[in-house]
Structure 1
Amino acid sequence: MSTDSAGSQASQAMLHMLDYISTHDHDLFEWDDHGREESDAWLRPVQDAGLSPKKHKVFHHANKEYLKPPQPFVQIGPELGDSGSTIVYKVTPPEGQGYRRPLALKVIVCKENTRPPGPDSNVRKLALQEVQNMVAVRHPHIVVYVASFEDYCISNRQVRQRRVAGTGARAVFRRVDQQIKRHILGIAMYPPADCNLRTFMLEIASAAVHSPKTAAEEHLMAQYLHTYFGCLAQAVSYLHKSTVRIRHKDIKPENVVIDSYGVPLLTDFGLSKHFETGQHSQGPTAKTLKYADPEAMQETQRDERSDVFSLGCVFLEMVTVLLGKPPSYAEEQLERMAGNAHQVGEFKYTDALDNLQEYIDYLEHMAEAQLDALPSSSPEKPMPSTNFPPSMPKSQSFKARQREKEASLSGVIKVLGHIRRMMDHDYHVRPYARDLYPLFSHLYDIYESPGRCENCEEQMLTGSSRPPTRAPTMPGVANGNGNGRQQIPLQRTRSNSPTLTKSPTAGSGSFAVRRVRANSLYVAKQASHSPTDVVDMAYPHNGHKV
């Protein structure tokens, strides 16, 4: 393979978030000036928002009457998400860009009262400020802003006018009216995720009720789900700290994405708000009602602990899944307890708070019943497992799995009270995000792998979660992870955790385990992987899930 070819593969390879942040890889993307808008009406709000022209580009309409998103980016595979006026694509940067890393591109159709906003409209200024909020956010569990752009097209309409000339003759004049027909805002972020937390939890719940083979897959994914409590708590804590001061305001499973290393990442800051006038604010906020905090619903004073309520709702669904139920089970049981099992309309956790303690008690009884029902450690009846090496005695693998199950159930029981406090109707009772990590960190220790998150541990000890800075890797120059190695789901390069890498056997399509810890109990599955293999279900490799 030539040096250029190897370098090209390196520049297109997926990087672990730690490598991506520490090398400042995002800084390598810069817009050129070709086709750039030059009018002050369009550029002044960009400057006022503090956005660099190297990172935010407004394209001139060039008399075009149609837009074709995700252009100028190049789409890879199907769309990653679609919510009406917003579509998320997996893309590569525009042709001619030296930067070739795969990205997620969120394209928003900008409207104000059903019409495209003007260049100096307040809604555009607010949107640009929200983009600026993302620029400085750097956390291993939050997606990274890479670049953004605006594009618009126009409609030309000729208007015929008659005027009476001074001589009494009638003269006909024609003028052309140009109106903005469509206006889009695109935000490029890293990484392009494999799935969101909702899909991930549904996969676990689905696998748990099927064959031993899929049960083993469920076991593997559940190991990762246990670690997501601490990682997400630290991501929200980072946003709330004094040097960042951002409230997310729309935390939900769909806004947590899982990358190809199995790392959870908080995303979608379209509804976030920078602290400009202190900690408290009042008034309604546009957000998903199901996970909305009581303060937003009642339009009363609130602070950053409003985010903690929404995170508590997500955590409630996560522990429900760890107990073997789908995430929707929480909603169904809360409605049943309230006598609203057949209620028409959107479910909201704020409407179910009177029955929350009853559901928490119900989950605790469920966990205790599962503990009592665990089979004896008799080697004659081992639990089904394909996750343990064939050389390991069945009795040993059974005992290891049983210890993990007991620890998981005990860990769930331990956090139920904390989740109840997070979802308290009174935000003064809720813990701050900065206090959540110690309440959930024991869940990292239930399984041998993936283990504790070093960055989240560092954040708890020092307040900083950033990895040490390394020199950026220029396109075409390989770094530690940019060796062209294809990544597969549920990989991590954290200390004390296994990394699945492509088998050296050419053309075999199999993957081997490089163990960082000698007794990491993992086996690899047969899988094939294409860089364009991105769908809304988790881990679509040959129809199987890892």
Structure 2
Amino acid sequence: MSFDSHETHESSQPTQSQPITLGEYLENHDDENFYWNDVDREVDEAWVGPVERAGLHPRKHKVFHHKNKEYLRPPLPFIQHGERLGESGSTLVYRVTSPVNEGHPHPYRRTLALKVIICNDNSRPPGPDSSVRMKALEEVRTMASIKHHHLVKYVASFEDYCISTHEVKRRQKARAVFKVNQQIKRHILGIAMYPAAQCNLRTLMENIIEQPDDPSSHESWDFLHTYFGCLAQAVACLHRTNVQIRHKDIKPENVVVDDFLLPVLTDFGLSKHFEAGQHSSGPTAKTLKYADPEAIHETRRDERSDVFSLGCVYLEMATTLLGKKPSFAEQELMGEMPSGFKYSECLDRLDGYLLTLSRIADSITDGRRESAQAVKQILPHIRRMMDEDHRKRPFAKDLYPLFRHLYDVTTFAGPCVECENERMASTCSSRARSPVLTRPTIGSGSSGGGGGAIANTPIVRRASTLTGMVVHSSPIDMMDGIDTTSYEHKKCNGNDNRDDDMGNGIC
């Protein structure tokens, strides 16, 4: 077999197959228990050299030797469980476990999400010397370096390729450093990540409205209040000076929900240029809906371009909490737009829609009135996030306090422990173990709030039974890919920040 794992304590193995929160996963350094062995490993310097230069450890990234294979069968060498989690363009996402190594006493049993990208460069598979391969490996390294409780965690990666058995004639002036480039039939890149989510944010919001009597919908509605703060912290982490990544494709499909109903932001680690059949540098139709005005008009932008897209997602979340489908926002804002709805082209109607939401909030008089009024309070903040002028938008690092009060209206979810600790520590690297957070609850007595004793109740995250299709969007669907290049982290003070590449964005 092609897989091995670190020796771990015997007592940890029976429970390793059970899901744990991403925060626990990071705290336990669980990803370090997975590493590749050398069976079937490619040793040609042409393939191995770029991996080393990208800074990827051979224990975590493996290039399989083709062994005269003519076909590849993803998700091998991993073992698939159930149906595919998602498919988009030339990217497939599976729920998997690691390859079984019967000779090792402690195999890695954690369920993972595996993204498999079928790679092309100018309509053919890239060879080992391809510049796009090198760029992709550097971006995998960047993804591997990021640790945050609401950003999907890289566990391991691999490459595999097969060759054509027939001889490929080279044109006289064709250039290729390595002859094998002319024989490669297919080249895939696989990235194993934790967690393997239940569904994405769009599915969760639609289920809340379409299945109002389902107990899981009530639970999801409760947790949805907390997603504002959690996602703000995730994006702020990407924008920090020691990370410096702009996501450029924030949308509900790129927020997945784990077994504990916690949101996890995905697809911030790979650019679209390593995707089959994708050559355009402009935005694609699927992502235009949430694209910032700067991207649409190809003007200068900074990290607050992500804040615009996040504001669009927040608008749909607020719409859902007020009892409307997330698509209600599009229906109200579209007006006479012929086709291809884009939030950036409806900003002249945004104030009117926010007024509509405010009136809906005031009309709610049942048990959800407190929630409705809390949502009403965040509408002005969402408006600022979606300002047409990126210089007037808040930075992601300043968002969390604006939405934190939504934790207080939830009946079950409570504050996110990691986000609260991060807020107090104020840095992405300071995540020391802290006491269990508690929140006051009304004791026995009237539900109206009179005379009840106040008790401190530990916040417990339970595994959810929510199920749904997970669609991990492919970089082929991104407006112009995931940008992992560094940028100057400046406050504009009235000046535009140029969209310059200044580094590789590695922590």
The residue that corresponds to 1:166 in the other structure is none
Match of 1:117 among 126, 137, 152: 126
Aligned-partner Cα distance in 1 for 2:436–2:266:
21
Aligned equivalents of 2:39, 2:459: Cα separation in 1: 52
Change (3 A) 1:535 1:443: closer
Counterpart of 2:331?
332
Secondary structure (helix, strand or coil) at the match of 1:265 reads strand
Matched, 1:350 2:344: yes
Match of 1:147 in 2: 156
Is 2:169 the partner of 1:184? Answer: no
Partners of 1:242 and 1:181 lie apart in 2 by 40
CA distance 1:48–1:519, change in 2 (3 Å): closer
* Aligned CA distance change for structure 1 residues 117 and 494 (closer, same or farther; 3 Å): farther
Instruction: Please tell me whether the aligned partners of residues 414 and 459 of structure 2 are also in contact (alpha carbons under 8 angstroms).
Output: no
Tell me the secondary structure at the aligned position of residue 409 of structure 1: helix
Mapped to 1, the partners of 2:389 and 2:289 lie a distance apart of 18
Partner Cα distance (2:234, 2:180) in 1? 52
How far apart, in 1, do the equivalents of 2:180 and 2:206 lie?
A: 55
CA shift at 1:419, angstroms? Answer: 0.4
1:44 and 2:53 are equivalent in the alignment: no
2:496 aligned partner: none
Q: Is the 8 A contact 1:159 1:177 kept in 2?
A: no
Task: Give the match for residue 235 of structure 1.
Answer: 234
**Per-residue deviation, residues 25-70 of structure 1 (Å, max 9, x unmatched):** 1011111111111112212221221111111111111100000000
2:67 and 2:166 mapped to 1: Cα distance? 16
TM-score normalised per structure 1: 0.73
Do residues 90 (structure 1) and 83 (structure 2) align? no
Kept in 1: contact 2:203–2:468 (CA 8 A): no
Matched, 1:138 2:153: no
1:469 and 1:28 map into 2 onto residues whose CA distance is: 21
Consecutive unaligned residues of structure 1, counting only runs of 5 or more, are 162-174, 274-282, 376-401, 471-492, 498-515, 539-546
**CA distance in 2 between partners of 1:263 and 1:226 (Å):** 11
TM-score (norm: length of structure 2): 0.78
Counterpart pick for 2:391 among 428, 436, 440: 428
Q: Select which of 442, 461, 469 maps to 1:536.
A: 469
How many angstroms apart in 1 are the aligned matches of 2:287 and 2:459? 40
Deviates further, 347-356 or 77-86: 347-356
Is the Cα contact below 8 Å between 1:250 and 1:272 reproduced in 2?
no
Superposition deviation, residue 240 in structure 1: 0.6
Question: 1:79 is paired with a residue of what secondary structure?
Answer: coil
SS in 2 for 1:242: coil
1:367 is aligned to 2:361: yes
User: Is the 2:79–2:99 Cα contact (8 Å) retained in structure 1?
Assistant: yes
1:77 and 2:82 correspond: yes
Paired residue secondary structure (2:227):
helix
Alignment of 1:446-485 (within 5 A): 446-464=409-427, 467-468=431-432
Alpha-carbon deviation of 1:201? Answer: 0.3
Corresponding position of 1:396? none
Match of 2:479 in 1: none
Change (3 A) 1:6 1:356: same
Q: Tell me, what secondary structure is at the counterpart of 1:187? A: strand
The answer to whether the 8 A contact 2:80-2:96 is kept is: yes
Secondary structure of the structure 2 residue equivalent to 1:325: coil
| Cα drift, residue 21 of structure 1 | 0.5
Query: Deviation of residue 103 (structure 1)?
Result: 0.5
1:221 paired to 2:220: yes
* Structure 2 unaligned blocks of 5 or more: 1-8, 171-178, 273-280, 440-454, 472-507
1:89 match: secondary structure? strand
- Taking only the aligned residue pairs, the percentage that are identical comes to 52
Higher Cα radius of gyration: 1
Provide the residue aligned with 1:409 in structure 2: 372
Task: Please list the CA deviations of residues 104-155 of structure 1 after superposition, one character each: whole Å capped at 9, or x if unmatched.
Answer: 0000000122211121112111211211111111111111100000000000
- Equivalent in the alignment of 2:445: none
Following TM superposition, by how much is the alpha carbon of 1:73 offset from its aligned partner in structure 2, in angstroms?
Answer: 0.4
1:425 partner amino acid: E
**What is the deviation of 1:99?**
1.6
Which residue in 1 is equivalent to 2:492? none
- Matched letter for residue 360 of structure 1: L
How far is the alpha carbon of 1:335 from its aligned partner?
0.7
What is the deviation of 1:7? 5.3
Aligned to 2:499: none
Quote the Cα distance in structure 2 between the aligned partners of 1:519 and 1:150: 44
Q: CA deviation at 1:535?
A: 4.8
Task: Map 1:178-217 onto structure 2 (within 5 A).
Answer: 179-208=183-212, 213-214=213-214, 216-217=215-216
Q: Equivalents in 2 of 1:318, 1:534: separation in Å?
A: 19
Distance in 2 (alpha carbons) for counterparts of 1:189 and 1:448: 31
Structure 1 CA distance, aligned partners of 2:270 and 2:169? 44
SS of the aligned residue for 1:219 comes to helix
Question: What's 1:165 paired with?
Answer: none
Whole-Å separation in 1 of the counterparts to 2:156 and 2:41: 15
